[in-house]
Each structure stands twice: as C-alpha cells, then as structure tokens.
C-alpha cells in the first residue's frame, strides 16, 4: 500500500479556531427569512474555458423553498472560501508544476461554482465574506494540506445536504458539483502522496460540523456586511481576499 | 450465453439519447485502443439488465449493483492476471476492494431482490497496463455519471445518502486513475485532467446500460 508520506494530513480542526465564522453561519441561517424568490437554478453542462460556463435558467414562478435557498447559500459560502483560497494561492506564486496546474484548474472550477450559485440565488445570495488565509497560500506544503482540508470538507458538506434538498434541479446541480469536489480531493491527495480514496464510503458532514470546521480555520475574518448586490461572481472587486502573511 | 444485437430496437424505444451515447462510446473506444466492441451488443434475457430498468429504488439499486459488479470483477480480473505494477497495481488493489465493498453493501440492502451475480469477460483489456488504465478511466467516469443521474430519481432519503457516499468515492477513483494515466503532462489537455469539467454530467440509466452493453464485458 501507499507509503506514509512526509506530509501530515491536516484537518481543519487542527488549524485552531476562534469561531470567526459564526457570524457567517448566522447570516446563512438568517437568509432563510426571505419570503419570495424569483429564480431557481438549473445547471447546464458547460466546460471551462469556453464562453457559457453554467447556464442558469430562471424558472419564474417555481420558487425555491426557504430550505433549498438556505442550503444553496451554505454551499455558496463554502465555494467563496475555496475560490478565494485558490485565487490567493495563484497570486502568491509559490506553486510549481502540477500543483500550480491544480490550483489553476480547481480555482476556475470553484469560481464557476460561485457564479452558478450566485446566479441561482439571484438577489438572495449571501455576500462574500472577507478572508485571511493566514499564510497558508505561501508555500507548497501549507497550500497542499489546506487544500486537502477544504476539499474534503466540501465533499462532506454537499453530501450531508443532498437528502435535505427539495428541488430536483437544485439536487441535480448539487450532485454535479459534489462529485467534482471529490475529484479535486482525489487529485490533491494523490499529489500529496496520500491515498486519494482512503475509504469505501465517504462520510457526510452536517451543516454544523462543516461550519465548525471552517470556523476553526479562522480564515473567515468578517461576515458580509451587506447583501450581495451586483458585484459579480468572478474575480476582483469586493471579494479580494486580504492576507496578512 | 445469448448475445443479441439489440441496439436498433433499444434506441427505437428510447428518447433519442442512444445516438449521443454511441458517439461518445466510439470516441472512448478509440481512447481505449479497441477495448470495446464496435457494435451495440446487449445480453438478451440477462435478468440484471431487465431488473435494472424498472421503476423505483429497488431497480435503481440493482442498476448500481450491476455497475459495481462490473467494476469489482474488472479489478479482480486485472489483479489475477498480474500485469499491473507500481501505483497502478496499488490503484487496482485499493479500488477493487472499494468496489467489492459497494457490491456487498448493495446486495445487503437489496436482500433477495438483488440481481444474480453476472459473469464477465474482459478479454485482453485486463492483461496489460495501457488498456487496463484506459478502461478504468471510462468505468470510473461512467460510475460517477451514473450515480449522479439517479440522484433525482431516488425516493428514499437513506438510499440517496448511500448513493452520495458511494459516488464521491467513485469520483476519487476517477481522479486517481486519470492522474496516473494522463499526468503530469496531460498532453490531451483539459479533457484528461483528473477533474475535467466544472460539473460532472449525469447520464441516464438507459445511456449507461447501453454503454455497458456495448463494452461486451457482460458474458451472462
């Protein structure tokens, strides 16, 4: 079997914590208040690199339920986190070879997931929090361990929500993202010399478990102060991560 | 063993997705170096196929079981043939054990409603590293798309949760074998990356069954 490698697999729990994400968690929960809703999303296919990334179809009257919207905003928060992490890593320039390719390709995926979820949620999308990755993007080792932890958390988080989703369109989209997150996880684990698929059945994470993991990273330094406006999901703008490294 | 070319009849009765599936299959067959038969061959009277086409969660679970049996047998055959070395051997060992676990989990869930265990014929695909890897990529990618496609069809929450726990493992397998096969150069570009797209495209049960039939791997 695979050799013990030099890298210690890091879980987000080990990264220490002060619960900075509680505010974001509260914001996610608070979003379920909203009563009406304009759009529901249907994710179309679409490869990267081309034009149409993910087509979201507005379905007018068929509104998302508050429960689904809450799940979508929960997912969006995780995707914001991942997207910002890879964006900062790319900007720091510490990665080489296939690790740099991984950060670029996976970062593009996470950016696309953010855009898709924001579009699906429309005006009900939570705003992007501000992040501080605390230097983890500055070396290949810390990038890798952190990426593993983030991707594993993403897989568990989507899995934990699947059976709670009401709408078929939302479920289909969540499943299509979920397995991509699992591919990311397998890829980065293999790059790290870890078994890409350590168990036969991947365990789910509840929303509370997920938020606790994220909170312990202290990567989220400020909950969104305003609701998402027309800021656009792509790069730049108000979503620029701040780093202290 | 009764092999009958039913592809025309099959497609005639469906919603037109068979053509796309076939084109995709041909493309993949080229990748696999002739690992697949060219024609559309299904096994007439094979009870697993019929039972995997019904409605309801039992049929979906049997559909999943058929795929897992195929995967498990593929890896067992490859390991028995002894042509694999290094990390490819490790992949086959680890992943083969996972697929066997999935088979047992599904059989246990289905109880007496489970399809009988098929027999398989992998010809020379498992006898050398290159065709093994090319086929493993296709099987794992297909597994991911198959589970994703059934997500909205599943009724019981427990079944959906189980399927979700399996599909991400299949996706890890797919990423792993893709990296082993195409990395680190990925000369084929984005389509060969461990995660080739923003979203994993779902396949319908019929698309998957047609593709599986076209492999010719199911002997009875």
pLDDT at B71: 98
CB contact under 8 A, A155 and B168: yes
Chain B interface mutation, best of A183, A188, A206, highest count of B Cβ atoms under 10 Å? A183
Mean pLDDT confidence for B54-81: 95
Residues 71-100 of A with CB under 8 A from B: 97-98
CB contact under 8 A, A173 and B94: no
Contact A200 B169 (CB under 8 A): yes
- How far is B218 from B41, CA to CA, in rounded Å? 10
Residue B70 has pLDDT above 50, yes or no: yes
Q: Is A202 close to B102, i.e. CB distance below 8 A? A: no
Q: Packing angle between helix B57-81 and helix B205-215, nearest 10 degrees?
A: 30
Look at A140-149, B40-49, B56-65, B133-142 and tell me which has the smallest mean pLDDT: B40-49
In this complex, do A183 and B172 lie within 8 Å of one another by their Cβ atoms?
yes
H or E element: which one contains A91? helix A66-92
Question: Which of A46, A49, A197 is closest, CB to CB, to B98?
Answer: A197
Q: Select the residue of A108, A196, A201 nearest B176 (Cβ to Cβ).
A: A196
Q: Which pLDDT does position A227 carry in this prediction?
A: 52
pLDDT of residue B52: 74
Instruction: Identify the pLDDT of residue A192.
Output: 98
Q: Is A159 on the interface with B (CB under 8 A)?
A: yes
- The larger pLDDT score, comparing residue A50 to residue A106, is at A106
Among the listed ranges A29-43, A134-148, B105-119, which one has the minimum average pLDDT value? A29-43
Average pLDDT of the residues of chain B:
82
Q: For residue B111, how many C-alpha atoms fall within 13 Å in the half-sphere facing its CB?
A: 0
Per-residue pLDDT at A135: 97
Alpha-carbon gap, residue B31 to B53, rounded angstroms: 28
What's the pLDDT tens digit per position in B109-145? 999 999 999 999 999 999 999 999 999 999 999 999 9
Question: Using 50, 70 and 90 to split pLDDT, how confident is the model at A15?
Answer: very low
Range B44-72 average pLDDT? 82
- Residue indicated by tokens 């810390």: A142
CA distance B70 to chain A (A): 16
Q: Which of A109, A163, A186 sits opposite B172 (nearest CB)?
A: A186
Torsion angles phi and psi, residue B3, rounded to 5: -95, 125
- Checking A60-65 for CB contacts under 8 A at 24+ apart, the result is A63/A36, A63/A37, A63/A38, A64/A37, A64/A39, A64/A40, A64/A120, A64/A121, A64/A124, A64/A167, A64/A170, A65/A166, A65/A167
CA distance B77 to B127: 9
pLDDT, residue B145, reads: 97
State residue B75's pLDDT score: 98
pTM over 0.80, yes/no: no
- Which is higher by pLDDT, B66 or B9? B66
Q: Which of A171, A178, A190 sits opposite B152 (nearest CB)?
A: A171
DSSP state of A75: H
* Inter-chain residue contact B199 with A105, CB threshold 8 Å: no
ipTM, two decimals, is 0.82
Q: How confident is the model at residue A63 (pLDDT cuts 50, 70, 90)?
A: low
Of A53, A98, A178, the CB nearest to B168: A178
Mention every residue, 6+ apart, whose C-beta is less than 8 A from residue A51.
none
User: What is the Cα B119 distance to its own chain's centre?
Assistant: 15
Cα torsion at B161, A106, B132, B164 (round to 10°)?
Answer: 0
């Amino acid at each position: 079997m695979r050799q013990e490698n030099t890298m210690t697999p890091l879980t987000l729990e080990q990264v220490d914590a002060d619960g900075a994400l509680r505010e974001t968690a509260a914001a996610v929960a608070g979003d379920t208040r909203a009563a009406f809703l304009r759009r529901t999303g249907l994710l179309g296919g679409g490869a990267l690199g081309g034009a149409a990334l993910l087509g979201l179809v507005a379905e007018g009257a068929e509104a998302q339920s508050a429960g689904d919207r809450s799940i979508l905003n929960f997912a969006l928060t995780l995707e914001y986190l991942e997207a910002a992490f890879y964006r900062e890593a790319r900007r720091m320039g510490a990665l080489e070879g296939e690790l740099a390719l991984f950060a670029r390709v996976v970062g593009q995926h996470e950016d696309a997931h953010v855009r898709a979820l924001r579009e699906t949620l429309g005006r009900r999308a939570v705003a992007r929090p501000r992040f501080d990755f605390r230097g983890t993007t500055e070396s290949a080792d810390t990038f890798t361990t952190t990426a593993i932890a983030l991707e594993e958390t993403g897989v568990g988080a989507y899995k934990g929500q699947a059976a709670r989703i009401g709408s078929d369109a939302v479920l289909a989209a969540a499943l299509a993202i979920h397995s991509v997150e699992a591919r990311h996880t397998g890829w980065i684990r293999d790059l790290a010399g870890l078994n890409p698929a350590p168990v036969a059945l991947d365990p789910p994470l509840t929303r509370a478990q997920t938020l606790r993991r994220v909170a312990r990273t202290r990567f989220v330094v400020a909950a969104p102060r305003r609701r998402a406006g027309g800021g656009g999901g792509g790069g730049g703008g108000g979503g620029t991560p701040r780093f202290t490294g | 063993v009764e092999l009958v070319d039913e592809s025309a009849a099959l497609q005639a009765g469906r919603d037109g997705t068979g053509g796309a599936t076939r084109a995709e299959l041909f493309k993949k067959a080229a990748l696999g170096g002739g690992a697949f038969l060219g024609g559309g061959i299904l096994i007439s009277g094979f009870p697993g196929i019929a039972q995997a086409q019904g409605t309801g969660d039992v049929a979906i679970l049997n559909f999943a079981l058929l795929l897992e049996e195929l995967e498990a047998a593929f890896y067992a055959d490859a390991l028995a043939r002894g042509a694999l070395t290094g990390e490819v051997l490790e992949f086959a060992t680890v992943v083969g054990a996972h697929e066997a676990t999935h088979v047992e989990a599904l059989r246990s869930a289905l109880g007496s409603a489970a399809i009988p265990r098929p027999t398989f014929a992998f010809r020379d695909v498992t006898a050398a590293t290159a065709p093994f890897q090319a086929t493993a990529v296709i099987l794992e990618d297909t597994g991911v798309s198959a589970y994703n496609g059934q997500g909205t069809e599943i009724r019981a929450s427990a079944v959906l949760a189980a399927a979700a726990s399996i599909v991400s493992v299949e996706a890890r397998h797919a990423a792993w074998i893709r990296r082993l096969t195409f990395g680190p150069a990925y000369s084929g570009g984005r389509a060969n990356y461990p995660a080739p797209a923003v979203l994993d495209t779902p396949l319908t049960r019929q698309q998957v069954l047609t593709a599986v039939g076209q492999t010719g791997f199911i002997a009875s």
